[in-house]
Chain A
Amino acid sequence: MTPEILPQAAGRVSPDVIEGLVRGIRSGDREAFVALTRLYQKKVFILAYSFFRNKEDAVDLVQDVFLRIYEKIDSFQEDRNFEAWLIQVAKNLCIDRYRKTRGRREMESGVRVDEIPLPDDRSPDAGRSSDLKAALARSVDRLAERQRTIFLMRHVNQMGNEEIARVLNISTGTVKSLHFKAIRKLRTLMEPHIGYQT
């Protein structure tokens, strides 16, 4: 197991370096694009994986995001924060794809995600942490879109309120409010499971 899990380094890259890479990509420098991808691909993967909980979908999404970035690099305004722009693109693509895959899952199973029951909370194994994880994952699927995005950004991507606010283009207060609502809704959805555990 490698300790190199979270792409902490990307957060420390100076704006000048990013600016240089962006200029390089605009002028067709392949290595600049590879370097930029390496800096941020793990961060995008974490966001995508938290949405889909599936490695293949997450990797596909990482590819889609960087292809979109490459296509749109000329329209990137240099006074903007590159990372915020990138995560915004990633978030939008995650939501688009999530809607499609959610629809596909519902069509295949014949039931809406909202109607899929949580694991049997009173089964003999209900107290196991893997059950809590499965129940939480299913409950997160039932959250409203913005609540789900904020919950995942905060708890899986480890983004702060200010960073989330910047990416979603909303106020920090709204982030806190939506996060609170997400927790409250999750609590309601998971009440039988949590109640059994105590």
Chain B
Amino acid sequence: MCPDCRKHWEDAEKIMKGADALKEDVRTAMTTVDWDALSERIADAALARPKTSPSRAREFPGWPRAFIWKPAFAGVLGGLLIGASVTYFALRAPNAAPPADSEIHASGEFIDRAELSVAKRETLDYLSKSQSLLLDFVQASPEEAGRLLHDEAAAGRASDLLAKKRFMNSHLDDASIAKARGICDQIERLFVELSQISGDLSTAEAVKIQKYIEDKQLLLRIKLLRKELAESEV
């Protein structure tokens, strides 16, 4: 890739990263809205208003609306259509060549590639943070692992990862990183389970979860996937 293209690519990636930061703002704002109260308030306001009557277009479904509502407007529109058709046929070159493919198609692919690159980096970041959290859990004694769930920092990391996964879901549909979806989904399910446990985790339960992580070879699979994604990025 030439230096100019590389620069262009990197800039596009940064812009899309910036857009991710905008999403973070939305996410924060959404947590401060009382959604149930909002829908009730809207319903109250709506029921206090009259509904508009069904349009005449529904009475005459086959008729263009302009002809039903505004005959003058329809006349002008008809005139314009006839004028445009006449102009088109009068000026059309007899053997006009089909338009060449514009650069936009190639550029669209370029942006798609840049998006994919951002998605890979997001996935790598998610895997790296998940690996770190799971390692803390697996390497702790069962008693410590049980307490870890109630550690504020660890719980914050887990809920951040759950939120991040939500935002990543659309990226993971891309065929070239579809392999990551399976393991990311598995990690997500584990974090969801852990986040739903209230009270202290018993030693037996902690051991069971540690064993699950080991049996599924989650840490090894994360490591291999990270390596694979990192290599495909080069």
Q: Which of A59, A70, A180 neighbours the largest number of chain B CB atoms within 10 Å of its CB?
A: A180
Chain A 39-71 near chain B by CB (<8 Å), digits 1 or 0: 001100110011001010011001100110011
Additional pairs, 11, CB under 8 Å, beyond known A33-B47, A42-B35, A179-B108: A2-B31, A2-B159, A30-B47, A42-B30, A46-B30, A49-B25, A50-B22, A67-B46, A155-B19, A177-B104, A194-B14
User: Which of chain B's residues has its CB closest to A180's CB?
Assistant: B107
Complex interface: chain A residues within 8 A of B170 (CB): 158, 160
Per the bound structure, the CA–CA distance linking A106 and B184 in Å amounts to 46
Complex interface: chain A residues within 8 A of B51 (CB): 70-71, 73-74
Q: Which of B27, B35, B42, B105 neighbours the largest number of chain A CB atoms within 10 Å of its CB?
A: B42
Interchain CB contact under 8 A, B111 and A183: yes
B49–chain A nearest beta-carbon distance, Å: 7
Which B26-41 residues have a C-beta within 8 angstroms of A? 26-27, 29-33, 35-36, 38-41
**Stretch in A80-88, A90-98, A130-138 with 4+ CB within 8 Å of B:** A130-138
Q: Does B163 contact A (CB under 8 A)?
A: yes
Interchain CB contact under 8 A, A55 and B33: yes
Identify whether the interface residues of B are mostly helix, strand, loop, or mixed: helix
Per the bound structure, the CA–CA distance linking A99 and B218 in Å amounts to 51
B1–chain A nearest beta-carbon distance, Å: 16
B residues in contact (CB < 8 Å) with A:
8, 10-12, 14-23, 25-27, 29-33, 35-36, 38-43, 45-47, 49-55, 57-58, 102, 104-105, 107-108, 110-111, 156, 159-160, 162-163, 165-167, 169-170, 192, 195
Interchain CB contact under 8 A, A49 and B15: no
Complex interface: chain A residues within 8 A of B162 (CB): 3
Chain A 155-198 near chain B by CB (<8 Å), digits 1 or 0: 11010100000000000010011011001101100110010011
Complex interface: chain A residues within 8 A of B11 (CB): 187, 190-191, 194
Q: Number of contacting residues on A, CB 8 A? A: 58
Given contacts A1-B160, A41-B38, A75-B58, contact A63 B45 (CB under 8 A): yes
Q: Does A6 contact B (CB under 8 A)?
A: yes
Complex interface: chain A residues within 8 A of B36 (CB): 38
Interchain CB contact under 8 A, A70 and B104: no
User: Which of chain B's residues has its CB closest to A73's CB?
Assistant: B51
Q: Which of A8, A176, A183 neighbours the largest number of chain B CB atoms within 10 Å of its CB?
A: A183
22 pairs of residues in contact across A and B, judged by CB atoms under 8 Å: A1-B160, A1-B163, A30-B43, A46-B30, A49-B25, A49-B30, A63-B38, A63-B41, A63-B45, A74-B51, A155-B23, A156-B26, A173-B105, A176-B108, A177-B108, A180-B104, A183-B12, A183-B15, A183-B16, A187-B11, A190-B14, A191-B11
Interchain CB contact under 8 A, A49 and B38: no
B19–chain A nearest beta-carbon distance, Å: 4
Per the bound structure, the CA–CA distance linking A34 and B53 in Å amounts to 21
Interchain CB contact under 8 A, B22 and A156: yes
Q: CB < 8 Å: which of A67, A72, A156 contacts B19?
A: A156
